[in-house]
Amino acid sequence: MSRTTGRADEMSVASVPTSTAEGGTRPPRRGVRLDKVGLYGLLSVAALTALFPLLWLLSGSLQSLTELLSNERFLPADPQWHNYVTAWVQGELGIYLRNSVLYTGSAVIGILLVSSLAGYALARLDFAGKGVFTFVILAVMIIPAPAMFLAQYKLLISLNLTNNPVGYVLILITSGIPMSTLIMRSFFVSQPRALEEAAALDGAGPLRIFWNVILPLARPGMAAVAVIQGLGAWNEYLMALVLFEDNSLMPVQRGLTAFTSAETPQQQILLAATTISIVPVVIFYLMAQRHIVKGIGAGAIK
Amino acid sequence: MMTQHLAVPARRRTAPRGRRALRRNLIGWSFLAPAIALIGIFTITPFVQAILLSFQSWDGVSPDTPWVGLANYDFVASDPIFWASMRNVVFFGVVGFVAGNGVALGMALAVNSVTRGRTFFRTVFYLPGVLSVVVVGLLFSFILAPGSGILNRLLGMVGLGMLQQNWLGEPAVALPAVAAVFVWFHWGFGFLLFLAGLQDVPKELYEAAELDGANRWSKFRYITWPQLAPVTSIVSLLTLLAALQIFGTVQVLTNGGPGHHTMVPTLAIYNEAFVNWRYGSAAAMSVIFGGALVLLSVIQLAITRRRSRA
């Protein structure tokens, strides 16, 4: 217990002056308490800064236009719930959200399949040229999107896959593969081999072992990949902007910008539409938080 | 933490011979086949095509893409918008790097040293990070609006009316304002990684240091900081790359304006291609900018590798 309080010191900037000023005549407890107050103060300011724009969004989406523009009060006097109905209908959010769910879902399934196959091969199978593939994956991860999106667009034109869900999902899958393969690989490396060896002794082939033995056990690794790639696919914007022309095919991020520029909706309606668009991702975040934190760590540190 | 697995598998390299070897290789490569096909078609082909396209002229429609030699590069070299965007993005990089990483590390240290409410703060601090660039752009275009924006109103309320600004319309203010939005959006990512790194620092090190009478600063300087070094270098690189590739937030917030004061390279490339219909010079821009980013990553990785060997 005392150790944890003692470590409040690491926030040295905030805490050192108070404690030295207090030192000597007063008992140390007081300095520790002041440290804590300062720390919680700092954390609360940061939390408020992170939350305030979202709270304002929520509040603004429930105000009437005159109330919103006059900016008289922070909370809506009389919550205008019908803003949400208008936003949903005018903004065609049902279509966009359905598209986003579809694209994100297909991309995640595709990424999981491809990257667990490749990650398993890298972790467990023995064959020539493995190092070459690992190197290519690392090299591909370094190529940034701004260097590619133009040529990807040109390629999809020649494949007749622009303005087409299949083309978009294939791009989403491909961009998720390198990192996911590395995550799956390190997951498989950390797993015991006993079950696979037993299955091999029973005469099961590699694909059968993979499908019946490996994949069911790989759930924790796949969960990390799924949440992080799912978030990425849901929030993808650049390729959606470049590829889609028909509103009926757009995912929600692209749909939102289409809504702002084409219809010039009233501000409170746009705020309501924005709120609707973040509800799924915020709920998902609050539910799958542990996996997300783990996935981000795994993805970044590889 | 898992980095060591990456260095080519330490298994025996004695290649099995004959038909068995062929079978093994076949099985191995067939597991990789889907990944190879997708990366080959949708990453490597476009990568090569982007380079080729930078020596060609293309209007985005016609099947005809004549070779023009270095003309695109000549054009880009004298394009003030592109170079303005490069200067601006350096500013984003520096602010994202210094402010973003500074806040992330500070808050990770703070959360790590309190006992109550850790989960709450962690949840809240990463919350902005799950939003999309479009949502963040829209949200702050309202918050920072000159007349009805809540920020100006709040400043007026607390008696700081002289700080009120046309945040996104004033050339001198717009770039820092957009950079601040980026930091708000992105610092939670570094925070999560720093926090995980702090929790991996062995407690015994601090206990030993306390026995030796180390003060707070020297514990940070000689234990926390060196122990965090691997995390710091990854977070720095990823934050820097994210800041340099900023696109959607800027497009929605300012679309590069006022003038070109918040133009960034990815947006300049997009506009050159999809607004001006000059795909060739857009490709030349993406080769220049993409090449710079690749170089940056390679240098950073080389430094990290050398440091971890030393």
CATH number of the domain where residue B253 is located: 1.10.3720.10
Q: Which of residues 16-55 of A touch B (CB under 8 A)?
A: 16, 36, 39-40, 42-43, 46-47, 49-51, 53-54
Q: Please tell me whether residues B107 and B202 are part of one structural domain.
A: yes
The reply to whether B142 and B226 lie within a common domain is: yes
Do B46 and B156 lie in one domain? The reply is no
pLDDT value, residue A21: 39
Please answer yes or no on whether A150 and B3 come within 8 Å at the CB atom.
no
Please check whether residue B153 lies inside any domain of the structure: yes
Query: Which residues of chain B have a CB within 8 Å of the CB of A5?
Result: 115
**Predicted pLDDT of residue A10:** 39
| Of B1 and B205, the one with more pLDDT | B205
pLDDT, greater one: B291 or B12: B291
pLDDT on residue A273: 93
Q: Are residues B105 and B233 in the same domain?
A: yes
Mutate to test the interface with B, among A126, A135, A286 (most CBs of B within 10 A): A126
Amino acid present at A67: E
Residue B251: pLDDT band with limits 50, 70, 90: very high
| Residue A106 to residue B200: CA distance in whole angstroms | 35
Range in A196-205, B253-262, B273-282 the model is least confident about: A196-205
A294 or B266: which carries more pLDDT confidence?
Answer: B266
Q: Which residues of A touch B235 (CB under 8 A)?
A: 300
Interface of A with B in 105-124 (CB under 8 A): 113-115, 117-118, 120-122
Asked if B145 reaches chain A (Cβ–Cβ under 8 Å), the answer is no
CA gap B212, B13 in Å, rounded = 49
B-chain residue closest to A300, CA distance = B234
Same domain assignment for residues B162 and B32: no
Q: Do A301 and B2 touch (CB under 8 A)?
A: yes
Suggest the residue from B6, B23, B182, B275 to mutate for an interface test with chain A (most A CBs closer than 10 A). Answer: B6
Give the closest-approach CA distance of A42 to chain B in angstroms.
8
**Is there a domain that residue B8 lies in?**
no
Q: Are residues B177 and B284 both part of a single domain?
A: yes
Model confidence at B15: pLDDT above 60:
no
B242: in domain:
yes
Contact A256/B at CB under 8 A: yes
| Spans of all domains in chain A | 2-60, 86-301
Q: Kindly state whether A288 is in contact with chain B, defined as any CB-CB distance less than 8 angstroms.
A: no
Topology (CATH level 3) of domain A86-301: MetI-like fold (1.10.3720)
Q: Return mean pLDDT, chain B.
A: 88
Whether B63 is covered by a domain: the verdict is no
Name the region of B60 (left: φ>0; alpha: ψ -120 to 50; beta: rest).
left
Q: What is the pLDDT of residue B188?
A: 93
pLDDT-wise least confident of B41-55, B95-109, B160-174 = B160-174
Q: Is residue B9 part of a domain?
A: no
Averaged pLDDT, B10-33: 76
Q: Do both B155 and B31 map to the same domain?
A: no
Give the nearest chain A residue to B116 (CA atoms): A40
pLDDT given for residue B166 in this prediction: 87
Residue-level pLDDT at A90:
87
pTM metric for this prediction: 0.86
Model pLDDT, residue A238: 94
Instruction: Tell me the angle at which helices B101-113 and A28-60 cross, rounded to the nearest 10 degrees.
Output: 120
pLDDT of amino acid A32: 63
B23 and B146, same domain (yes or no): no
User: Chain A residues with CB inside 8 Å of B220's CB?
Assistant: 9-10, 12
Interface test with B, best of A103, A150, A170 (most B CBs within 10 A): A150
**ipTM of this complex:** 0.87
In a domain, B161, yes or no: yes
Task: Assess contact for B309 and A159: CB atoms under 8 A.
Answer: no
| CA pair distance B187, B107, nearest whole angstrom | 10
Quick one: pLDDT at residue B192?
92
Total structural domains in chain B?
Answer: 2
User: What residues of chain A lie within 8 A of the CB of B219, using their CB?
Assistant: 9-10
Spans in chain A with pLDDT lower than 50: 1-27
What range defines the domain where residue B230 resides?
72-309
Contact B134 A137 (CB under 8 A): no
Average pLDDT over residues B153-179: 88
User: Which helix (H) or strand (E) element contains residue B101?
Assistant: helix B101-113
Residues B31 and B162 in one domain: no
B45 shares its domain with B83: no
Which of B111-125, B150-164, B206-220 holds the top average pLDDT?
A: B111-125
Instruction: Write the residue in B43, B45, B210 that is nearest to A143 by C-beta.
Output: B43
Chain A with chain B: Cβ pairs closer than 8 A: 311
**Would B223 be classed as within a structural domain?**
yes
Which residue in A has a C-alpha nearest to residue B135's C-alpha? A274
The confidence score (pLDDT) of residue A300 equals: 67
Instruction: Tell whether B11 is covered by a domain.
Output: no
Cα nearest neighbour of B36 on chain A: A133
B62-93 pLDDT per residue, tens: 778 889 889 999 999 999 999 999 999 999 99
On whether the CB atoms of residues B142 and A65 are closer than 8 A, the answer is: no
Tell me, yes or no, whether B44 and B77 share the same domain: no
The per-residue pLDDT for A64 is 85
CA distance B130 to A231: 7
